[in-house]
Amino acid sequence: MTSSWTACVAALAAGGMLSACSSMAPGYNRPDAPVSATWPHDATTQGTGAAADIDWQSFFPDPRLRELIGLALQGNRDLRVAVLSIEQARTQYQIRSADLLPTVGGQANASRTPTGNSNSVTLYAVGLAASAWEIDFFGRIRSLSDAALAQYLATEEGRKAAQISLVSAVANAWLAIVADEDLLELTRQTLTTRQESLRLARLRFENGVTSELDFRQAESLTESARVTLAQLQRQRALDENALVLLIGQPLPAGLAASAGIDAVTLPDLPAGAPSDLLARRPDIRQSEQQLISANANIGAARAAFFPRISLTAGIGTASSELSGLFKAGSFGLTLAPQLLLPIFDSGRNRAGLQSATVGRDIAVAQYERSIQTAFREVADALAGRAKLVDQLQAQSAVASAEAVRLRLSDLRYSNGVASYLDLLDAQRSLFAAQQALVQTRLAQLQSQVALYKALGGGWIDGAASR
């Protein structure tokens, strides 16, 4: 028997005091973070401040994207469920807190009792009554109230985590649409160029200047561009549908438009230390509150081994006549204490304590898992930041080189030095390099969004805080 249990019994036996022990829950100590103390990639980039302190209006400068995020925060159904869950948890906490106080209600009744000689006596009574109120000597109700409070706080953190995910999802969907528009424009230009090349190839073939092989190669390349255009149009529609689902309403006209993926800029962010995540990430704080709740449940399970003392009380007035209800001498007070001592419960209480203890151990593992997941997300984003900039520069150089190659190949073919196949290959390579450049730029921007999310940014609403 622990010292806290002994203290409760001593207080009850020595003084019969009504003040209860606060809780039998074990003392809470935050588990050590099961991750390295440093990031595996460079985290020295200087920025405007910690991500969790930067509201999303400041991080995303494009007004169209900010408007889309605002619409999503108003209309997204997943976020609405998270907000309603907070209200549900709050009411559950209020119910548990109310159990600490007696429930008092008014009552009035009239009864008629036969006297045995064909007469009867009527008795009228009115008053206040407190139903069976458990005096929380051993902190059972207090522990349940603490557990409900922690669950309420956990749902609030869950709402913040849901907003972070929503903000980053809207940003990524919008960036994907901007990239789609760039790729569609590039493909349309390429198709126009190839259609003109096909027209010239047909004329040369019909006039016997070139073979049918050159004509068919030009035709194949043109149709390949049509295939790519159809694929991109389909992908553009899918990305727009995803964005519509996120904002919870039809996409407003013009809000998905942009000057191009190259015109989008996002600020750099310092990663800070891994220990900062414990205070910055709402999902980690949510897991910790769930751990605190599970820890409090152990206190309730321990208290179940001890007697429960409840009190029923009533105060009122009674009289055989209605006019005499409030006369002197008609008032009375009743007190009915009740003691329930567990003697034999077929191991129910012991099993309840074991279940609560295992629940706490599960919550510890889930809390540690949330930290490891957050660490991995930040590490992945840092890896993207470290390498995607270099990849983007290299891909830009590839596209520039392919553009020069196409110009030289066209010049060589026009002078009869190179074959038509060389020219088509240069066209195909330039188109692929330009597509890869847009996709790499998209990946680099989405990596910045991922870092902002991983560091706990996106739940602060700057417009609401000002």
What pLDDT, on a 0 to 100 scale, did the predictor assign at position 69?
Answer: 93
Q: Greatest CA separation found in the chain?
A: 135
Instruction: DSSP letter for 53, please.
Output: G
Instruction: DSSP letter for 318, please.
Output: E
pLDDT in single tens digits along all 466 residues of the chain: 444 434 443 433 333 344 445 678 888 888 988 888 888 866 565 555 688 888 999 999 999 999 999 999 998 888 888 888 888 888 887 877 776 777 777 777 767 777 666 666 676 666 676 676 777 778 888 888 889 999 999 999 999 999 999 999 999 999 999 999 999 999 999 999 889 888 988 888 888 888 888 888 889 989 999 999 999 999 999 999 999 999 998 888 776 566 789 899 998 888 778 888 888 899 999 999 999 999 999 998 888 888 877 777 777 676 666 665 666 655 667 766 777 778 777 888 889 899 999 999 999 999 999 999 999 999 999 888 888 989 999 999 999 999 999 999 989 888 888 888 888 889 999 999 999 999 999 999 999 999 999 999 888 876 544 4
Written as one letter, the residue type at 338 is Q
What pLDDT, on a 0 to 100 scale, did the predictor assign at position 1?
Answer: 40
What pLDDT, on a 0 to 100 scale, did the predictor assign at position 321?
Answer: 64
What pLDDT, on a 0 to 100 scale, did the predictor assign at position 415?
Answer: 85
Domain boundaries, the chain: 33-100+141-280+357-465
Is residue 364 within a helix (H) or strand (E), and if so which, with residue range? helix 348-414
3-state secondary structure the chain: CCHHHHHHHHHHHHHCCCCCCCCCCCCCCCCCCCCCCCCCCCCCCCCCCCHHHCCHHHHCCCHHHHHHHHHHHHHCHHHHHHHHHHHHHHHHHHHHHHCCCCCEEEEEEEEEEECCCCCEEEEEEEEEEEEEEEECCCCHHHHHHHHHHHHHHHHHHHHHHHHHHHHHHHHHHHHHHHHHHHHHHHHHHHHHHHHHHHHHHHHHHHCCCCCHHHHHHHHHHHHHHHHHHHHHHHHHHHHHHHHHHHHCCCCCCCCCCCCCHHHCCCCCCCCCCHHHHHHHCHHHHHHHHHHHHHHHHHHHHHHCCCCEEEEEEEEEEEECCHHHCCCCCCEEEEEEEEEECCCCCCCHHHHHHHHHHHHHHHHHHHHHHHHHHHHHHHHHHHHHHHHHHHHHHHHHHHHHHHHHHHHHHHHHHHCCCCCHHHHHHHHHHHHHHHHHHHHHHHHHHHHHHHHHHHCCCCCCCHHHHC
Question: What CA–CA distance (Å, rounded) separates 60 from 63?
Answer: 8
Main-chain phi, psi angles of 312, to 5 degrees: -115, 130
What pLDDT, on a 0 to 100 scale, did the predictor assign at position 466?
Answer: 42
Residue 257 tokens read as 């438009």
Neighbour tally for 75: CB within 10 Å: 13
Written as one letter, the residue type at 92 is Q
Instruction: DSSP letter for 275, please.
Output: G
Residue 98 tokens read as 């109310």
Angle between helices 140-206 and 77-98 (to 10 degrees): 180
Question: What CA–CA distance (Å, rounded) separates 345 from 333?
Answer: 35
Question: What CA–CA distance (Å, rounded) separates 104 from 184?
Answer: 71
Q: Are the CB atoms for 191 and 226 separated by under 8 Å?
A: yes
What pLDDT, on a 0 to 100 scale, did the predictor assign at position 325?
Answer: 61
Tokens 């567990």 belong to which residue? 342
Q: Are the CB atoms for 52 and 457 separated by under 8 Å?
A: yes
Q: Are the CB atoms for 158 and 282 separated by under 8 Å?
A: yes
- State the pTM of this model: 0.82
Residue 239 tokens read as 């990305």
Q: Per CATH, is 33-100+141-280+357-465 categorized as 1.20.1600.10?
A: yes
93: buried, middle or exposed (CB in 10 Å: 19+, 13-18, 0-12)?
A: buried
What pLDDT, on a 0 to 100 scale, did the predictor assign at position 432?
Answer: 93
